[in-house]
Amino acid sequence: MKGSTAESFVCFGDAHGDMCSRSTIDALEKHIAELKPKHRICLGDMFDLRSLRKGVSNQDSEHYDSLVSDLTQGYNMLERLRPTVFLNGNHEFRLYNTAENAASGIVRQYCQEGVEKLEKYLRKMGCKVYPYHYDQGVHRIGSVAFVHGYTANMAAVKQHAEIYADPGGAVVMGHLHRIEAVQAVRHGGAKGYSYGCLADIPKLTYASLRPATMRWSNGWVFGIVGKGKKNFKIWQAEKTNGKWILPTNLKEI
């Protein structure tokens, strides 16, 4: 891409803390090192925070140990992948919500400290941070929008493209854990992409009874964005015959 005005990016997320796929994280870290993208965009859910789902008690040592393990692994992944942009996902939102609404003052204070630590850590990294919010939680590079995701139905990628993509542009989303690309029906055209996830899917036992889980797979997206409409190219990284096949020498000809 020497001499090009296009900007390269890699986009990832949904690792779910200590339930991450370590081999997928290894592959992504290697790809980032070789690609050297200008933008490293994390779309959230790097922490799972499952112990906060129903409200952890300060007397519940098992939930506390789970939370510590989850946070430790989440920070480890952020340190390795070094995002330049971080969009909070619905799982990070659990931390913010518990910090505001927990019945236990001790739990509330612990989560408030957790929020402060996460925001300070990301600021120190030089990361631009977005809230988990349908309107404010949108990052844009040229004609490509990036969101964590706010619906999870079968038409979610198409819906997000229709809502967030500019005419002739695209949206990249997380949240769904499935790899998908769609062409939205709108004036000027729009594309939608879902990158999969970085989680060890069998560990996400809460989804073990959902047939839709069969659509889940590991992956991320990367690409280039130039100025103007339809001036972008997005690739979806996924395994082929058990191997990651990833071009890294991106250039315009």
pLDDT tens digits, 61-118: 556 677 888 999 999 999 999 999 999 999 999 999 999 988 888 888 989 999 999 9
Tokens of 78: 């952020």
- pLDDT of 248 reads 75
- pLDDT of 59 reads 53
Task: Return left, alpha or beta for 230; rule: phi > 0 is left, psi -120 to 50 is alpha, else beta.
Answer: left
For tokens 């969101």, the residue is 147
| DSSP conformation class of 51 | G
- pLDDT of 76 reads 97
Which carries the bigger pLDDT value, residue 141 or residue 52?
141
- Rounded mean pLDDT of 184-199? 95
pLDDT at 29 over 90: yes
235 contact partners, CB below 8 Å, separation of at least 6: 221, 222, 223, 247
What superfamily does domain 8-236 belong to in CATH? Metallo-dependent phosphatases (3.60.21.10)
Which carries the bigger pLDDT value, residue 10 or residue 62?
10
pLDDT at 1 over 50: no
pLDDT at 3 over 50: no
Asked if 41 and 83 count as a contact pair (C-beta separation under 8 A), the reply is yes
In whole angstroms, give the CA distance from residue 74 to residue 110: 17
- Rounded mean pLDDT of 169-189? 95
pLDDT at 4 over 70: no
pTM: 0.92
Task: Return left, alpha or beta for 228; rule: phi > 0 is left, psi -120 to 50 is alpha, else beta.
Answer: left
pLDDT at 50 over 90: no
In whole angstroms, give the CA distance from residue 49 to residue 68: 9
| DSSP conformation class of 245 | -
158 contact partners, CB below 8 Å, separation of at least 6: 182, 184, 185, 192
- pLDDT of 246 reads 86
- Rounded mean pLDDT of 16-36? 96
107 contact partners, CB below 8 Å, separation of at least 6: 55, 56, 57, 58, 98
| DSSP conformation class of 132 | S
Highest mean pLDDT among 54-58, 102-106, 218-222, 238-242: 218-222
What confidence tier does 229 reach under pLDDT thresholds 50, 70, 90?
Answer: confident
- pLDDT of 78 reads 97
86: β partners: 42, 129
What confidence tier does 195 reach under pLDDT thresholds 50, 70, 90?
Answer: very high
Exposure string for 196-219, b = 16+ CB within 10 A, e = fewer = bbbbbbeebeeeeeeeeeeebbbb
- pLDDT of 56 reads 57
- pLDDT of 104 reads 82
Asked if 147 and 87 count as a contact pair (C-beta separation under 8 A), the reply is yes
Count of alpha carbons within 13 angstroms of residue 252, beta-carbon side: 14
Among 74-78, 81-85, 190-194, 206-210, which is the least confidently predicted range? 206-210
- Rounded mean pLDDT of 216-235? 93
What confidence tier does 217 reach under pLDDT thresholds 50, 70, 90?
Answer: very high
Q: What is the 3-state secondary structure (H, E, C) of 174-213?
A: CCCCEEEEEEECCCCCEEEEEECECECHHHCHHHCCCHHH
Asked if 19 and 203 count as a contact pair (C-beta separation under 8 A), the reply is yes
